Chains A and B, each alone.
Chain A
C-alpha cells in the first residue's frame, strides 16, 4: 500500500514516514503543499496523510482540488487545530478522517489501515481465500492452519492482492501501490516477488491461489479460471 505523507515539521514528517515504512507501506514524503498536490495527482495513493497547515498550499485546498478533479484518494488530516469548525470543515470537504496533534502512533496506523480497507471495499479485518487467511490488523498469514512467514515486501504484495481478491491486478498497479518514488528496483521486481509468494503459499498446497493472466497481470482467487 502506498501512502503520501505531507507535513512541514521535518522531524514529525520523517518519523511518520519511517514508522509507516516499518508497517510495510510504501511512503512518499513531502514538506510542501504544492508538491503534495502534484504527487497526489500523478501517483495513485491508497491514503494521503496531510497536515492542514502546509507551506504554499494548505491541506484543505489540496483536498478541494483533488475532489474537484474527481480524484478519490482517501485523505486523513493531521491538524493542530482542534476547534470543532476546523474538523467539520475538513470532513465537509471530503476528508475521510482527521487526527488532532499530538496523536497516538497506534491510532494513526489503525486509522490509515481502516481507510485503506474501506478504499478497497474490504470491511473485514481478515481476508479468506479458500484455506488462506490474511489478518490485516496483525499482518499474519495462515494457510491450512499453519502460520506462513513473509517478508514485509511479500506481505505487502499479498495484502494488495487480497484487498482486490478475485480482480486481475496489473504489474504497473502493483508497482504503483507497493513502491515509493525513491525505489530503484528493476522492472521485473513484481514478477520476482510473485515467485517468492507462490513458493511460500502455493507450492505445498492445493488449490493454487495465485494465478497469472497473461498480458494482464495477476489475480488472487480460489478458482483457476
Chain B
C-alpha cells in the first residue's frame, strides 16, 4: 500500500521535473532563435540608427530604443569584442488580441568605438511553443492519472489479498470458545506488521487455556471426590433399610452417614471457597496478628486436648499487621488442625510468630510422623493424600484439600510457605506473608476499636 503510494508520488514528481526541464530547454532554444533572428538584421551591425523605431511583421514585433532609458540598468563595462547582445530581461507579455509573446530586452554594443549602444526589445508570439508545452503537460497529467489509477487498482488487489489472512484470522478467533481453546492464530500467514499482535494473542490464549485446564482438572477431581462419600451415604442407608433392625443398628448407620455427610459438607465448602477466591475482592485491614494467633491456638486446643497433644505458644504480646485476616486465619487454622491430627499422644504443636522485616512469619511445628521428601513437592496439589500404612482406613476421611486451600490463600496474600520435615521427628510449616504494620500502636488500637 505505502510502497504503491510512494511509487505514484515519484511518478508525479518525475513528470513535473520532466515538464520543467523540457519547458526551460524549449524556452532557451526559442530565445536563442529570437536573438539569432535579431542579429541577422544587417542594419543592426552597421547602422543601428537606421533601424525603425517600431517594426511589426506578421510574426514578430521589434521595438528599438536608441537611447538607453534611465530605468534600464546596463552592464558598466562591455567587452570590446562583444558584438552579441546582452539579454537584460526576458518574460512573457500578452498584447492586444490575447496573444502571448516572448519578450527579450537585448542590449547591443555599438558597432564602432564611440557609437551608441542599442537597446532592442524583441517580442515573438509563443503560440507554437505554448501548444507544445500544453500537449506535454496534458500527456504527463494523463500519464500521472493513469499511473494513479493503476496504483489504486493494484493497491485494492494487494490489500484484499493482504486482508485474506486477516479475515481467516478473524474466523479462527470467532471459533475459539471454552471447548476449542487449543486453537492458535497462524502468525506466519499474517502481514509482518500484525505478527507481534498475533503472537501476543496466542500467548493470551495459552494463559487462558492453562488456567481453564487447571480449573477443569480441579472440577473433574472434585466431582470424582464427591462420588465416593455419596456412594457411602447411599449404600449405608440402603443396606440399613433392607430389613428391620434394632435401634442401636440404626444409630450406628446414622452415625456413619453423618460422618460422610460432614465430609461432603467440607468438600462443598472448600469447593465454594476455592471458586469464590477467584472473584471476591476483600479489603485488607489492620489488626493484631498476635491476637489472631491466640484465637487460633485456643480453637486448636479444643482439638488437641482429646488427642493428648499440647499446644505451645510462642506469640509476642502484640504484632500489628495490615492484611486479610480471614485468609490468614484460614491458613493458620488449617495448618494447626493438621499438626494436631498428624501427631502422637503426648506430642506438641508449637505456634511461633514474629516480624521478619516487613513480613509476618508464622511457623507451626508438630511432633508427628513427618513427611517423606518425595511427597513434599506434591503437598499443595488438590486432592493429594499421603497414605500411612497403619491408618489407611482413615486416609479417605481427608479430602486432600486443606493444604491446597492454604497454598491458594498464601499466594493471594503474596506470601510463601516453606516445609521442613524429618520423618519420625516432625514437620514445620513456615509461612511468610507481607504486611507488618509500621503504624503507631495507639493509632492501630484506635483503628481496631
Contact = CB atoms under 8 A, between A and B. Distances in A.
Contacts of B395: 8, 31, 55
B397 A16 contact: no
A153 to B, nearest CB: 17
Interface residues of B, number: 29
B232 A15 contact: yes
B239 A105 contact: yes
B225 A80 contact: yes
A101 interface: yes
Interface in A16-75: 16, 18-19, 22, 31-32, 55-56
A100 B236 CA distance: 16
A104 B243 CA distance: 16
Interface stretch (B316-324, B328-336, B385-393): B385-393
Interface string A192-222: 0000000000000000000000000000000
A105 B236 CA distance: 9
Contacts of A12: 228-229, 231-232, 235-236, 260
Interface residues of A, number: 27
A11 B260 contact: yes
A145 interface: no
Contact of A101 (B228, B387, B393): B228
A68 B397 CA distance: 33
A18 B393 CA distance: 16
What is the interface of chain B mostly: helix, strand, loop, or mixed? helix
B224 interface: yes
B394 interface: yes
A10 interface: yes
B259 interface: yes
A182 B178 CA distance: 54
Contacts of A16: 235, 239
A184 B286 CA distance: 66
Contact of B242 (A19, A31, A81, A101): A19
Nearest to A35: B392
Contacts of A108: 235
A102 B392 contact: no
A11 B256 contact: yes
Nearest to B394: A10
Interface of B: 224-225, 227-236, 238-239, 242-243, 253, 256-257, 259-260, 387, 389, 392-397
Interface of A: 8-16, 18-19, 22, 31-32, 55-56, 78, 80-81, 100-106, 108
28 contacts: A8-B396, A9-B396, A10-B396, A11-B256, A12-B228, A12-B236, A15-B232, A18-B239, A19-B242, A22-B239, A31-B392, A31-B395, A32-B389, A55-B387, A56-B392, A80-B224, A80-B228, A101-B228, A101-B230, A101-B231, A102-B230, A102-B233, A102-B235, A104-B234, A105-B238, A105-B239, A105-B242, A106-B238
